[in-house]
Each structure stands twice: as structure tokens, then as C-alpha cells.
Amino acid sequence: MSLTTKYSMLVSVYKKVNHKHFRQCLESIFSQTYPAEQVVVVCDGPLTNELDEVISDFKEKYPNTLDVVRFSENKGTGAAANAGIDACRNNLILKTDSDDICRKNRAEIQVAVHEKNPAITMSGGFIREFLDGTDEEIAVKKVPLSHNEIVKYAKRRNPINNPTIAIKKDFSQKIGGFDTDARCEDYDFVCRMLHAGAKAENVDKILLDYRVSPDNLKRRKNWKNTKSFIQVRYRNFKRGFCSFFDFLIPSIAQLLMFILPTKLTGAFYKKILRK
């Protein structure tokens, strides 16, 4: 299939990101089998010299493709995503995280999905989670594929692996973009898109290698993170997107993940995501 759709790749970065990981991320973006017409990097606040050097290197190499948006202070993931969406000049936007590695054919696969069915406004795929420093595979995180399965799954959990998400700019802006106050802004965004009538599809292929470190589990056990997930699910219930039990059951599971000792949390996480 010969692809013709131009797309923008969006990634945001902040000062705590490892510069080596960020370089790997950009290398994976610029080595796609179907290259981006534009790559937008949002700097969420001042960066380290090492991160700025990475950006300078790629800007020098790809001056007509790489666009950089800078915040004078850290504004958070939601605000960075919205600024990046505004800066994208193409309607199809592929989004990723600054320390993950896109598979070489990620864009080719996702652009084909949107060309085959122009009604699709949001897509994603599987991710391979690996342990930072060893490359040991932890799990392949799979997601539902069809639109109906995605909507059903979304009532309790995020049905799209956030680092693989592709969105239509016009539709995302119609719903107001990402919530700048929500800590779990990715799940909130997907649910609001679906509730507004977005058509979604996931592919049964690994699109990205997702780096897992001890900090990941710490974030999952963070009280603010736990509370935010419960708040997002409660908003879903209040707007009529899900039932009371769809709100209650995963909220209880989220609390258990917070209460359990870290070792048990890690074992549970590995088991539920195992291939």
C-alpha cells in the first residue's frame, strides 16, 4: 500500500528525562520507514544542558522537519501535549513519550490504519515493556482491537497504550484537548474522545518498546496518582460514560495496588500484563 498522508510526530520532554534515553527516542522517530513530515518537541520547562544538546544535534540534522516549542516553566504533561497539538501542522498526529523507542514501522502501520478508514480518529497498538538497563522483557501489554471492544474496555481501564496513540488534531481540539489539571490526563483524554463519538482502532502489533524502571512502580503507588485515577473514573460515571460498578471495581483495585507492598505490586503488575 502506497501511503500519502502527511503526519506530525509529537513528543514532550522535561529536565528529569535521561538524555541518552531521549536521544534513543528521537533516533527511533527519525528512522521510521514512513518518515514524519514534521516532528514537534515540546520542552516542558528549562532542560539540562545534555537534553538541549540532543535537541540541537537533531535540529542541525533535520532543520526543516524538527520544530521546538519551549515553556519557560514546567506546566505539566497535559499543557505540553496541548501546546504540541497546536504546533502540529498536520491533522494526523502520532504521539510518544520521551524515553521510549518506536519500532521502525510504527508510523507506517498507523498511517495505513487511518488511510484505510478515514473515520478513525484515534488509534494505538501493543507495547513491549522492558527493564531499563538490562533490556529484559517484562511483558507485552496488549489492548482491545475493535472500536466496540475499546469502548467497553475504556469503562474500567485505558484501552490505548498512551505512548502509541495517534489522534486527529481537529477532533482532539473539539473536545478541548488534554485536561491540564488531571494527573491521569491520558486516560481522561481517551475517555472524553470516545464519549464525544471518536472512532478508535488498535492494531495487534508491537509499535513501541516501553522502558520500565523502579520509578514506574513508585508512580503507580503514589497517592496522588491513585486518587487521580479514581477521580477520572468518577467523572466517567458522572458523565454517563460508565456504570457505577465500572467506577467502583477498578477503584478498589487501584487502592489495593496502593496498599500492597512494592514487591507484591510488582509481581501482580507483571502477572496481569504477561503475554
What class has domain 7-273?
A: alpha beta
- Residue bearing cell 487502592: 255
Look at residue 29 in the predicted model and tell me its pLDDT. Answer: 98
Please report the pLDDT score of residue 234 as a whole number: 80
Residue for grid cell 540534522: 61
Instruction: Say whether pLDDT at 264 is over 90.
Output: no
Angle (nearest 5°) at CA 91 between 115 and 181: 125
Which element (helix H / strand E) includes 221?
none
Q: Which residue has the cell 521510549?
A: 100
Average pLDDT of 44-52?
A: 97
pLDDT at position 274 over 50: no
pLDDT, tens digit, 9 for 90 and up, residues 166-203: 999 999 999 999 988 767 788 999 999 999 999 999 99
User: What pLDDT shows up at residue 28?
Assistant: 98
pLDDT averaged over every residue in the chain: 88
Residues 82-87: what's their mean pLDDT? 97
Question: How do strand 120-131 and strand 137-141 relate by DSSP bridges?
Answer: antiparallel
> Structure pTM?
0.87
Is the model more confident about 105 or about 268? Answer: 105
Q: Does residue 205 register a pLDDT over 70?
A: yes
| pLDDT at 1 > cutoff 90 | no
* Better-scored residue on pLDDT, 228 or 45: 45
Q: Amino acid identity, residue 200?
A: A
Q: Which tens digits make up the pLDDT trace of 141-162?
A: 999 999 999 999 999 889 999 9
Query: In this predicted structure, what is the pLDDT of residue 273?
Result: 41
Give the β-pairing of 7-13 and 101-102: unpaired
Q: Would you kindly state where each structural domain of the chain is located, as residue ranges?
A: 7-273
The grid cell for 62 is 533535520
**Is pLDDT above 60 for 116?**
yes
| Cβ neighbours of 236 (radius 10 Å) | 23
What's the number of CA atoms in the CB half-sphere (13 Å) around residue 2? 0
Q: What pLDDT, on a 0 to 100 scale, did the predictor assign at position 181?
A: 77
And the C-alpha cell for 23? 536521544
Angle at alpha carbon of residue 32, lines to 175 and 154, rounded to 5° = 35
Q: What 8-state DSSP symbol labels residue 103? A: -
Residue 3 confidence (pLDDT) above 70: yes
Q: Which residue has the cell 495496588?
A: 257
